Amino acid sequence: MCDESTLQLTSVDMPVISQVTQASPEKPILALILKLDMASVREILSQEEFVPTDVSAGTRGMAIGKSTPELLSSCIRLLDLLDTLRDIPFLAGLMQREIVYRLLRSPLGKHSSAELVAGWIAEGEVLLLESSMPSGGCIFSDGIEADSVEFNAGAIVRVHRAKERARLVLP
């Protein structure tokens, strides 16, 4: 049972069935389902300040928790766009990005299932990664998502240092 400040965050595709059991004109209820743009989530998580430091091994891809005033404000501003339809093409993406930021900054952010977003691999080490994301997963190393490799549930990747080095030359 959820109240007016409860939210559910999932990082896996799930069928959703909900029912409002108590509402009135004096005390209306609004439920919002927002499918997050995973490219935005990955881009925000790739920033150094979002590298998780306290993610436990027991962290799951779904959580229920309390919303923050900042997150609620972001969601309300997104819904307010329904009053000015001409603004939706320009502002909706920015507001959804802010919602992603607020979610990742909240205590529920550790449930994003992005436990490793950056790091170094020493000479001779091998890093094994297995995806548990049902769909929409990808992996890339150069910061260019356009040349990513699909990385969905069950996929396993072995990552090691290359034998050759490349040098980036800027004009």
Q: How many domains does the chain have?
A: 2
Which value, in Å, is the radius of gyration of the alpha carbons in the chain? 19
- Pair 66, 15 in one domain: yes
- Pair 124, 45 in one domain: no
- Pair 96, 25 in one domain: yes
pLDDT at res. 95? 92
pLDDT at res. 124? 83
In whole angstroms, what is the distance from residue 94 CA to residue 107 CA?
22
**Domain-located, residue 100:** yes
Per the structure, the complete domain to which residue 149 belongs is given by: 120-171
**Domain-located, residue 87:** yes
| Contacting residues for 48 by C-beta, under 8 A, at least 6 apart | 118
**Domain-located, residue 25:** yes
Domain end position, chosen among 75, 91, 112: 112
Contacts 24+ apart (CB under 8 A), 98-105: 98/74, 99/34, 99/36, 99/71, 99/74, 99/75, 100/36, 100/37, 100/40, 100/41, 100/44, 101/44, 102/68, 102/70, 102/71, 102/74, 103/9, 103/36, 103/71, 104/41, 104/44, 104/45, 104/50
- Pair 105, 137 in one domain: no
- Pair 106, 75 in one domain: yes
Residue 32 near residue 82 (C-beta atoms within 8 A): no
Residue 67 near residue 102 (C-beta atoms within 8 A): no
Q: Which residues of 133-147 are buried (b: 16+ CB within 10 A; e: fewer)?
A: beebbbeeeeeeeee
If we measure between CA atoms, which residue out of 70, 52, 55 comes closest to residue 7?
70
- Pair 102, 166 in one domain: no
- Pair 90, 134 in one domain: no
Per-residue pLDDT of the chain (171 residues; tens, 9 = 90+): 567 778 877 766 666 677 778 888 888 877 788 877 777 777 777 775 655 445 444 445 567 788 888 988 998 999 999 999 999 999 999 999 898 888 888 777 665 555 555 567 778 888 777 777 666 777 766 656 667 778 777 788 887 887 877 776 777
